């Protein structure tokens, strides 16, 4: 049975991690398209303000305070959504956090807490949502990352959690398809996105964090999520750089390792001390903002992601990105050669 996806103007959508960043950008964009939005996060003050903002603009919204690491919290979210709107048409598992620090330096408790949010949060949301989506069909959309395919240093356990999210999402998709469930299961894999993500991360390094370039605006991810809510899609990269690195990692993994060692570690930091070292790992952060404080150029859109609906155009974008990456690697390798 194929997935039955409604137009956005007829949908009820649950969004976890809706109090900032990608989740907030998605909620605002969805509401403007006529979606009835169910906002989910830990920060009640921020959720209340966002709900009122959407309603004041003529949209429909409600919020439920929840910690995605507890399945009982998300069961409450589902019941509240159905009580209010009568159904759930799309469920977006977006909530996620990171830790800046080498794997050996991070405590076991912090590693486990990160997995509770990033991995078990997706598992809990998916398994709670599935019975509701089976009733009339719908979309389950999980937020992975470009590091679902490629490991990175400094955020090692974050990368591990996103690898786990990919494995779980792919397995669940197969099981639902075999069953004939009318559910589309999509993994969205963003590249670096300018959100408060670095500031919400727990930081062991003492240096102000940042994401490696290229960096894209959160709205690019929101558009990909809404595309997945209306078009059955297996996975979507947001940012041609992510697709390119994933492809290179399959073809020349040692070169990608070299780039991580020589380039990416340095790109994780700004030249100033950290201000928010505890982050939002255990308690809600300073929410209500879509954008972060990335100090460099932020790309408004991803040409690759825009071209995904047109395979030939997407291939050309990827080929061009590959040429650019090869040139950059060549320059860096020559810089590091012994005289």
| Whether residue 214 has a cis bond before it, omega within 30° of 0 | yes
Q: What percent of the chain stands above pLDDT 70?
A: 90
Which one is predicted more confidently, 8 or 240?
8
Under DSSP, the state recorded for 233 is -
Tell me the C-alpha distance between 6 and 123, whole Å: 24
- Identify the band that residue 309 occupies on the pLDDT scale cut at 50, 70 and 90: very low
pLDDT digits (tens, 9 = 90+) for 62-87: 999 999 999 999 999 999 999 999 99
* Mean pLDDT value across the chain: 91
**323 by DSSP, 3-state: which?**
helix
- Mean pLDDT over 269-293 rounds to 91
> What is the residue extent of each domain of the chain?
8-335
Q: Side-chain half-sphere of 335: how many Cα atoms within 13 Å?
A: 9
In contact, 132 and 83? CB cutoff 8 Å: no
pLDDT at 316 over 80: no
For the entire predicted model, the pTM comes to: 0.89
Q: Is residue 294 flagged as an active site residue?
A: no
In contact, 142 and 121? CB cutoff 8 Å: no
pLDDT the model gives residue 22? 98
pLDDT digits (tens, 9 = 90+) for 194-205: 999 999 999 999
Tell me the C-alpha distance between 298 and 231, whole Å: 27
pLDDT the model gives residue 325? 53
Q: Which two tokens stand for residue 230?
A: 């209306």
pLDDT the model gives residue 303? 67
The single residue of 132, 158, 216, 304 carrying the catalytic annotation is: 158
Task: Sort strands 192-193 and 99-100 into parallel, antiparallel or unpaired.
Answer: unpaired
CATH topology of domain 8-335: Rossmann fold (3.40.50)
Of 47-56, 65-74, 272-281, 295-304, which gets the smallest average pLDDT?
A: 295-304
| Burial grade of 180 (CB within 10 A; 0-12, 13-18, 19 or more) | exposed
């Amino acid at each position: 049975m194929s997935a039955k996806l409604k137009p956005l103007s007829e949908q009820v959508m649950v969004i976890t991690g809706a109090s900032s960043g990608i989740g907030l950008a998605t909620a605002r964009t969805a509401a403007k398209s006529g979606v009835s939005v169910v906002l989910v996060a830990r920060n009640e003050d921020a959720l209340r303000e966002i709900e009122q903002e959407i309603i004041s603009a003529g949209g429909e919204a409600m919020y439920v305070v929840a910690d995605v690491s507890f399945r009982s919290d998300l069961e409450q979210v589902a019941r509240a959504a159905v009580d209010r709107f009568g159904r759930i048409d799309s469920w977006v598992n977006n909530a996620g956090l990171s830790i800046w620090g080498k794997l050996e330096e991070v405590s076991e408790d912090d590693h486990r807490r990160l997995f509770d949010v990033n991995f078990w949060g997706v598992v809990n949301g998916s398994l709670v949502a599935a019975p509701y989506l089976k009733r009339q069909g719908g979309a389950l959309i999980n937020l992975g990352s470009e590091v679902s395919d490629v490991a990175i240093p400094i955020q090692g356990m974050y990368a591990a959690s996103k690898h786990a999210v990919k494995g779980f999402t792919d397995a669940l998709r197969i099981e639902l398809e075999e069953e004939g469930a009318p559910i589309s299961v999509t993994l969205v894999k963003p590249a670096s996105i300018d959100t408060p993500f670095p500031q919400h991360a727990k930081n062991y390094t003492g240096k102000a964090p940042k994401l490696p370039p290229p960096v894209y605006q959160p709205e690019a991810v929101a558009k990909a999520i809404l595309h997945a809510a209306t078009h059955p899609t297996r996975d979507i990269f947001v940012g041609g750089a992510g697709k390119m690195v994933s492809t290179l990692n399959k073809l020349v993994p040692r070169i990608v390792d070299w780039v991580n060692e020589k380039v990416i570690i340095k790109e994780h930091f700004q030249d100033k001390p950290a201000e928010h070292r505890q982050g939002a790992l255990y308690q809600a952060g300073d929410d209500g903002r879509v954008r972060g404080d990335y100090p460099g150029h932020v790309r408004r859109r991803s040409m690759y992601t825009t071209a995904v609906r047109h395979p030939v155009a997407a291939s050309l974008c990827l080929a061009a990105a590959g040429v650019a990456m090869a040139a950059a690697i060549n320059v860096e390798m020559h810089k590091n050669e012994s005289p």
